[in-house]
Amino acid sequence: KSSNKQNHDEDNITQLEVLEEEKHNQIILSGLEQQLLDGILDEERASSENPRLVGYMQRGVAYHHAGLNNKGRVAVEALFRNRYVQVVFSTATLDM
């Protein structure tokens, strides 16, 4: 049983480490960036075209293409310009 308990304890420690790492890696947004995200949150989540964009942007990744609505494009551009989004997958629509 002590082996099972030790494995369980190790699993708990590993899970805790993963949670701490995820928390550490979350991007802290300034007021402007948070407003941009909040402004498109409902619209993007309701849209079947781009349901994951907000979640990606909160993790520092985004995409940019002609099918995005204007708010989505502006948010991606602003967050990328301010280095909150560090990776953008884009067509030629991203003109900075």
Residue 78 clears pLDDT 60, i.e. is over it: yes
What's the Cα-to-Cα distance from 89 to each of 31, 72, 80, 92, rounded to whole Å? 25, 14, 11, 10
Q: pLDDT tens digits for 7-46?
A: 556 666 676 776 666 555 555 666 776 777 676 666 666 6
> Which residues make Cβ contacts (< 8 Å) with residue 62, sequence separation at least 6?
53, 56, 76, 79, 80, 85, 87, 88, 89
At residue 52, φ and ψ (nearest 5 deg) are -105, -5
What local confidence, expressed as pLDDT, does residue 46 receive? 63
Provide the token pair at 30: 């300034």
What local confidence, expressed as pLDDT, does residue 85 receive? 86
